[in-house]
Amino acid sequence: MSGLARRLVAEFVGSALLVAVVVGSGIAAQQLSPGDVGLQLLENSTATVFGLAVLILVFGPVSGAHFNPVVSLADWWLGRRTGTGLRGGELVAYVGAQVAGCSVGAVLANVMFEVGAFQVSTHDRVSDGHLVGEIVATAGLLAVIFALARTGRAALSAGAVGAYIGAAYWFTSSTSFANPAVTVGRMFSDTFAGIAPGSVPAFVGAQLLGAVLGLGLIVWLYPDTGANADNVVVPHEHTTESDTLSHR
């Protein structure tokens, strides 16, 4: 299996398990603590923090553990001038693997909890406050990831990214999706963690805007950030010369 193929499998499986953790823990929270939304959110966020940290540790050395199109897009954009980070074709492949994985992860969670494998959420989440929350959540996530890579502390990303997402569950009104692929995946579970299809475009737009703002801050603080794009989210395998030739 080529280096790129291994990385795409890691992104697909990692993204699927991430959404399985988010949706599955949301279903479990709903069943275990009916009527107590605050406790449900605590249970859901705790599982997500630990699950995300473990997934970064497991899959990070292979693909970087992006699991998020805005992270991959930022990695490509920052590294394009220095020859670091993802190439254009790799970016497209990463995003495809992430979206497919997140969708499969939602179905997997539905199956595990026997709530009906294929669902479409009816949970409408769009409001001005929610969209501002997504901008803030995504900007902060990108800032954390790229600041750690730039300052040689990418090894701390599992704990730091998990901690940031856990905090953002609570300090943002949107509960911090901060990820277009996860947002798409969560459409397919009509449960506590779901999001209605009509809410998805606005959420994704807010996430993209947040990514631009987060990157703008990091580039202003650390002008040479692009030189470290290969270390996002953590240092990982790179495409070999033969892989590069085959994709030209």
Residue 155 sits at the vertex; the CA angle it makes with 150 and 156, to the nearest 5 degrees, is 90
- For the stretch 139-193, pLDDT in tens is 999 999 999 999 999 999 999 999 999 999 999 999 999 999 999 999 999 999 9
pLDDT of residue 57: 97
Compute the C-alpha angle 127/195/197, nearest 5°: 90
Rounded to two decimals, what is the model's pTM? 0.93
Summarize pLDDT for 8-59 with one digit per residue, the tens: 999 999 999 999 999 999 999 999 999 999 999 999 999 999 999 999 999 9
Which pLDDT band, with edges at 50, 70 and 90, does 82 fall under?
Answer: confident
Domain ranges of the chain: 3-234
**Which fold, 3-234?**
Glycerol uptake facilitator protein (1.20.1080)
